[in-house]
Structures are given as C-alpha cells and as structure tokens.
Chain A
C-alpha cells in the first residue's frame, strides 16, 4: 500500500523547537504547595476523599473516579490538606481544587506499594489498574486512558497508533520522552497490545525529531509487529484523524471515533505512563512539561509534580524575561492563555509557552475578503469562511448543517486568515451555544 505519510491541507507554522529539543529532562524541586483540581480530565470530576487538615503522602488517592469516564486524583507531594475550594483552572474558570501544603524537608518517598505483574493480569485487571492510577491522555485532551483500553465488543481493533508527532510549535515533551525513555514507550506498547489483543502497532513521528526516531527504532521489540513511521512535518499532523489518515490511509467517518476506523490512538507520553504504572506502582502524579518561549530565561523540559503552580514552575526556569507578553498552557496553536500565576499544572498540561510581544498574533481585525486561504488550510475540509460569517450572525443551526461538529478547533483557519478573524474562537463559541441549546 503506497500513500503519502501525511494528510491534505494543514499549515506550516515556524517550529521553534530548538529552544528545548536538546535539553535533557530535569526534575524540578518540590514547591511549597500544590493545588490539585478535581477536574483534570475529560468526563466527570473526581469525588473528594480528603478533608482539610488530613495528612497525605505522595501518591495517596485524594479523590476517586466518579463513574467510568472519570479518573481519580492523587496527591503529588507529601503534606497537609490546607484548603478545599475554588481555584483558578487553566481553562479560565474556577473549579474545586485541593490545596496541599507540602511538608518541608520531607524525603517525598512514596509508601511502599505492590507492583502488579501485568503479564499475569486479565485485560479487565489491567484497565482497572490504569484507571486506579489516574492515567489520562498526556497529549492535551486528558481523556481517561482506561476508556481507550475498553473498546466496545462489536468493534474490532486492527491497529494501535502511537502518536509521537508533537506537531504544536515549541513543545518538546513527547520528543524528550522518546529520546530519554524509549524502553518505557515500548513497554507501554506491549501492555496495550496484550490488553487490546491487537497484533499491529504503528508509531508516527514527525521527521523533525530524528533522534527520537532513532531511539524508538533502536528499541523496537523484535517479537511484535511494531513499526516506526517518519511523517511529514505539518500542523496538525498529531490530530488523531490526520494521523490515522497518514498511517493507514483511512478517514474516520464524520461524527465517529477512531475505533470506527479500527484504530486506537495513544500519545507516546501516555503510553510511557502506562508502563510506569506497572513498573513502579505509582499513579500519575508527575509529568514532563516543556517550559519554553522567548519570554522565559531558561527554557527547560522538567519533571513537574501535577498541581505545581505556574508561578513556581516559572521560578524553576529562572523566571520571566522583560518582554514576556502572553503565557500559554499547551502549544501556541491550541493552548489556552493564562491570566493567573496561581493556576496549577494539570495532568494534561503538555507545556508552558511564554510568548514575546513580537510574535503574538496581530490584534487588528479586518473584514473577510473571501481569499479562501482558510479553505485551503482546514484539514477536515470545512468552509471556515462560510462558518465564520454564519457565526457572526449567530446562525448556529446552519453552522451545524455545514458540519461545524467536525471542526476540531485546530486553529489552522485563524492562523492563515489575513484579516485576523478569530475563526476557531467563533467556532468554539458556536459549539458551546449549540450544546447549551440541546441541553435546554
């Protein structure tokens, strides 16, 4: 089967990965306090298990999953629960969070715990262990990982696709994971393949990470059908639908899931976390975060306790430069700008990008001149020009008829728009309005 290892349309933003792509991961010191929101994943927020004044040790469960599409939250440092209340959340709202005062001089050693031997476990037990460890997708969306390990009975999975694209500019989290922890990635793949009973795994990595491709290539298991595929560097190559098209030349049907194309997609860092759970028995309480951008003094890849406040993370990178202008959680294409330095890093926070004034998108907007550049950029072949004008007139239903729900908010249309019309923002608004209307 011959096809190009990419998708059609998309954009080529400058990469800026050179700031951190060769910087080895280091562990940041424990901050004085951590703030753990109960909602760090897609699905129901976790149910609280602790009360103010409780002493918790690193790795203790402080909130449990509320149903199937949910994940528990664990203490990322040993200390005392100071307060449970509303706290700034990276999405821009306030949500219930547990604030833990970290014990000074603590060794931060977790309790001794039993590490299950995964090879002897049934798929159900593996899923249970993954959910108990609070593992969610580390690529940004934070979808609970055990759900992806639980395909419906009637859907046959042919291929596991491991997402090592990291197509967002600036970010190098997945890159460093592949370079420094390739065995963990392979081990995670092994566990997934057994759990899902799948024979084939394809690892997609953009060509701009030759050292990652090499490291993964060098550690490939010899007894399993696992292959590495260097992909064209293009945004959004790491979007599930685009990655599936690139690797297996199949379109995920509109409104359906990758499962419907016989595929499960998992991010490399999430796979490595699955392996870690069965290696150390530790739940997901820390992750690799890229702190980068022209506005930070010491761009770094850090192992960060989940719940670390932005302020403490920036301090661990020697602070902001004078021209720091905008702070984004996630990549600059899809990430969310932050207003408050007390906002915590979540399980799904891939990076913190501090942009300088000279590089942020222009503020001035012009009327649409129907240049059609957005149509050429949209990776799912929508007509953002039409959708944008409908959005401005608040004609939500017509937008839905024009396939608004297929929009994944990748931002390509806004990126190319010469009139600087906030298209993806309008689409996000329209989606929210439609959801609200349906709920009512």
Chain B
C-alpha cells in the first residue's frame, strides 16, 4: 500500500482565523465612511487628493516593495490615511509624492511591513509639510458648489501654485490660536468645518474605531488614554484661564485628534506591544498634543505628538514587560 501523504506541521494545528491581511483590510473598510464624509464635505477635491495619495503609496509598494506585498493592504491604509490628513485644495502631485515618500522612506527603507519605527502616513505628511509649507496650510472656505474644486488640485508639478479660486478659510484650531474665535461644538462633531479631509467628522471616526476595537483590530487603550489625557489636561488649563484656553470638548473634536488617536496612533507596528505600554504611549501623545497646541508655534500638534511617541516605543516596550508567571513571588511558605 502506498503511503498517503498527510500534512505535517508543528502544533498548534488550529488557528484563530484572524490574519494580517484581514486586519489591514478591515481597517481600510472602516475608513470608507470617513472617506465618504470627506467627499460629502469637500466634493471632487476629496476624491482627487485621497486617490493621489493612495496611488503614490501603492505604486511605491509595488515598485520597491517585496513581491505580493500589496495584498496585505498595509500600503492602501497608509495612502488613504495620508490623504485624509491633507488639505482639500492640495495639488494632487504633492499628495502623490507624499504617499510615495511615506511608503518608501517611512516603511520600505526600514525593511518593509512590521519593521518601521514611524507611522508611514504621518511621515509622508511631515515630509509634505516641510517641503510645501504654504500648500499644506492653505484651507478652503466652506460653501460654494459641491462640484467645484477646493483649490488648485490639478496644478502641474513644480509650477508655482496659482492663487486658489476659493476664498481661503481657516481651521477651528487656527481660528482659536491666532484669532481667538471659537467654533460651534455641533459643527465640530459632525464635521461642517474647515480643515484637512479627515479632520471633519469626529463621530464617524469614533464609530469606525469602535468597530475595529470590537474586532480586536486596534488596541482601545491607546485612543482612550489619549482622549482622557487631552480632556483632563485641557479641562484643568481651561479652568485656570477660561478666556485664553479652549474647553476640553473643543480640544477633543478639533483638528486631527480623532483621526490621529483612532487610526494613526493605533497602528500596530508603531505602537507598543504591551497593554501597559499602550497606556503610557497614549498618555504621552495626549500630553504632547496639548502642549504643542496651546504653547507651540503650530495650531495643530497631533502629527508631531504621534511621531515623537513612535520614537519612544522601543523604550516603552522595554519598560513595560509583563511579570512572567511564577517570578518575583514572595518566598513560598510551605
């Protein structure tokens, strides 16, 4: 009788069914409503900018990355997330370059998926902010036809950008910081405000985050600790000087905090592996966000807060290793 060939693998022979591509694509899926909201508010410009950033990221992964890496979905996340952090009127060639830079220099140069220190989408945005500071801080005013472009999206590469045809507006954080003007909470929460594409709808982002947390595809400790830290610090500071500093609710729902806390800081690769470390990491981000927003030179600090804490992750991991079972016990009295 010939020997039948049976599978020979090491134990365990069963798996939980979760896979890295499943996690990545479920993140992409949960971003669909966020992208939808940005299209609702910013029209075709949102489609153009997010598509260009995603295309840049995906092409870089395809050309420079390992074979088949596109299937794991991580480059798509980077591209979409980068797109959501950009102003609606950004020339799309810049978004494209940002996506390529994020994947190329934010991820592949470190050795690809799982090896990078910094969140690739945020690194792409930091690069764009350094390279094109004016374009990255030009915000379109709300209003006008849905069909109109919110800026010179179709500008040719390296040409001086034309004056935006829409009247330049400002973000709630910018208004707060430079003009001491506050924005309605309801506008902040549902997103009818100026700002980056994904900064607009806190509620939708929270729903997406809840979905991912329930599927155990993000560590809920990170956003919660960011929110609590920001809220507590902002509330205390506001109480000390109400006319100078904004309220906690304003701090939570303005700028990129929601998107950053739910989707950027929770990037598994660049956040701590220990749960205790996630609390520390979230606290650090929240603290830095408040410090940069209130006393820094920029109106918004989420990006730098996360990137700075990304750099701290190896130290946080080392400092928060769990106590191994059966170690550090008091002498057993038998």
Contact = CB atoms under 8 A, between A and B. Distances in A.
B186 interface: no
22 contacts: A262-B332, A324-B6, A325-B6, A332-B11, A335-B13, A337-B13, A338-B6, A341-B3, A355-B14, A359-B14, A367-B115, A369-B74, A372-B219, A372-B272, A380-B324, A381-B322, A381-B325, A406-B325, A414-B12, A416-B16, A424-B12, A428-B10
Contacts of B327: 253-254, 403, 406
A204 B233 CA distance: 49
A418 B114 contact: no
Interface in B184-217: 216
B329 interface: yes
B9 interface: yes
Interface in B55-98: 72, 74
Interface in A347-378: 353, 355, 359-364, 366-373, 375-376
B329 A251 contact: yes
Interface centre among B115, B272, B273 (most CB of A within 10 A): B273
Given A156-B334, A370-B269, A406-B326, A424 B11 contact: yes
Contacts of B22: 418
B15 A362 contact: yes
Contacts of B137: none
Interface in A149-165: 155-156, 158
A197 to B, nearest CB: 15
B212 to A, nearest CB: 12
A383 interface: yes
A116 interface: no
The A interface is mostly helix, strand or loop, or mixed, namely loop
B321 interface: yes
B321 to A, nearest CB: 6
Interface string B292-313: 0000000000000000000000
Interface of A: 11, 13-14, 155-156, 158, 169, 241, 250-256, 260-262, 324-328, 332-341, 353, 355, 359-364, 366-373, 375-376, 379-383, 385-386, 403, 406, 409, 411, 414-420, 422, 424-425, 428
Given A251-B326, A380-B324, A155 B334 contact: yes
Interface in B1-28: 3-4, 6-16, 18-23
B268 interface: yes
Interface in B76-126: 112-115
Interface of B: 3-4, 6-16, 18-23, 72, 74, 112-115, 216, 219, 268-269, 271-275, 278, 321-327, 329, 332, 334
B274 A368 contact: no
B275 A376 contact: yes
Contact of A415 (B14, B20, B72, B322): B14
A156 B273 CA distance: 40
Nearest to A158: B334
A416 B325 contact: no
Contacts of A13: 12, 14, 16
A369 B6 contact: no
Contacts of B324: 254, 380-382, 403, 406
A381 B271 CA distance: 19
Contacts of A428: 10
A335 B7 CA distance: 13
Given A260-B332, A370-B268, A375-B274, A360 B7 contact: yes
Given A337-B13, A424-B12, A261 B273 contact: no
A349 to B, nearest CB: 14
A420 B21 CA distance: 11
Contact of A366 (B21, B274, B332): B21
A337 to B, nearest CB: 5
Contact of A369 (B16, B113, B216): B113
Contacts of B323: 381
Given A380-B326, A383-B322, A424-B11, A341 B4 contact: yes
Contacts of B114: 367-370, 419
A369 B270 CA distance: 9
The 8 A-B residue pairs whose C-beta atoms are closest, nearest first, are A411-B12, A425-B10, A380-B325, A361-B15, A367-B114, A254-B326, A372-B273, A326-B7
A334 B18 CA distance: 20
Given A341-B4, A414-B11, 9 more contacts: A158-B334, A253-B329, A334-B11, A335-B13, A337-B9, A369-B74, A380-B326, A385-B273, A418-B19
Given A339-B6, A385-B273, A411-B12, A369 B20 contact: yes
Contacts of A375: 273-275, 322
Given A367-B114, A367-B115, A369-B114, A361 B325 contact: no
